[in-house]
Amino acid sequence: MRLGGPVFEKNLTPESWLVALGRSGYGAAYCPVDEKASDDVVRGYVQAAAAANIVIAEVGAWSNTVSPDAAAAKKNIEFNQARLALAERVGARCCVNITGSRGTADWAGPHKDNLTQETFDLIVETVRKIIDFVKPTRTFYTLETMQWMYPDSADNYLRLIKAIDRPRCAAHFDPTNLVTSPQIYFNTGAMIRDAVAKLGPYIRSCHAKDVKLANKAHIHMDEIRPGEGNLDYTTYLKEIDKLDPDMPLMLEHLPNAEQYDLAAKHIRGVAKEAGLSFKG
């Protein structure tokens, strides 16, 4: 496994990027350039990563490709095509997005039409359009699991992968987003084992977050820093460690470097207790 996360330095160069990653002890990284980067700039980062044994885990393509606004959907599909092409250029393990919402209030929010067969079919069509345009040979296109949109479970993820039917469609694993009920919350280890058993051959990158169930009349869960919630990190690390020695586990959604350091410290501590270690 490789632990990774964002860096906070501005005006990055390949050299300062490696210094920042080394300071955090990361063996994996988010893509440090965008799709507008020149070939020379991309080459500089790729060579630096190879020399320092850093895996570029993923290129984010965060946008709503199934928006009910046709113009917005077209623009976002084109953005995903550009981001997948970037992932191919840098040799990232994957390009990742969510499927998006069929509502207009929030591009990533819940909507009554998100989990319908019609939307499932639209996702299949959209992902094919993204992959077929780029025709990647080194990277993969993946969808992050989400609570209120496909893929909302390991079973539905498998359904999507098989329906999309493209060799370069793979999986992204974020078990925190699959904690959707008290039953799962209090037994996250079983959920993780089940998901990895089903999706393991497809998983290209993973996210590290945590979840906490609130004591409120209606079910409410908050995403929080790893170690502050109920996700079974011992099981999580053991399961993904079986898949690939270079599997990235990427920290995200924390406000500053100090919080990332605390999260990394917790995860490394869990790994050590489990007899596991991270590359890098």
- Mention every residue, 6+ apart, whose C-beta is less than 8 A from residue 133: 81
pLDDT at 145: 96
The average pLDDT across 248-263 equals: 97
At 38-75, the pLDDT tens digits run 999 999 999 999 999 999 999 999 999 999 999 999 99
pLDDT digits (tens, 9 = 90+) for 108-128: 999 999 999 999 999 999 999
How confident is the model at residue 243, as a pLDDT? Answer: 97
User: Cα 172–159–233 angle (5° rounding)?
Assistant: 35
For the cut 80, the answer to whether the pLDDT of residue 90 exceeds it is yes
pLDDT at 237 over 90: yes
> Which pLDDT value is given to residue 236?
98
* Percent of the chain at pLDDT exceeding 90: 97
Pair type for strands 248-251 and 203-208: parallel
pLDDT at 86: 98
Which pLDDT score, from 0 to 100, does residue 217 have?
Answer: 84
What is the predicted pLDDT for the residue at 105? 86
What phi and psi values does residue 207 have, to the nearest 5 degrees? -110, 150
Helix 188-199 crosses helix 154-164 at what angle (to 10 degrees)?
A: 20
Q: How far is CA 39 from CA 62, 86, 206, in A?
A: 23, 10, 28
Q: How confident is the model at residue 280 (pLDDT cuts 50, 70, 90)?
A: confident
d(CA 197, CA 100): 26
Instruction: Average the pLDDT over 177-193 and give the result.
Output: 97
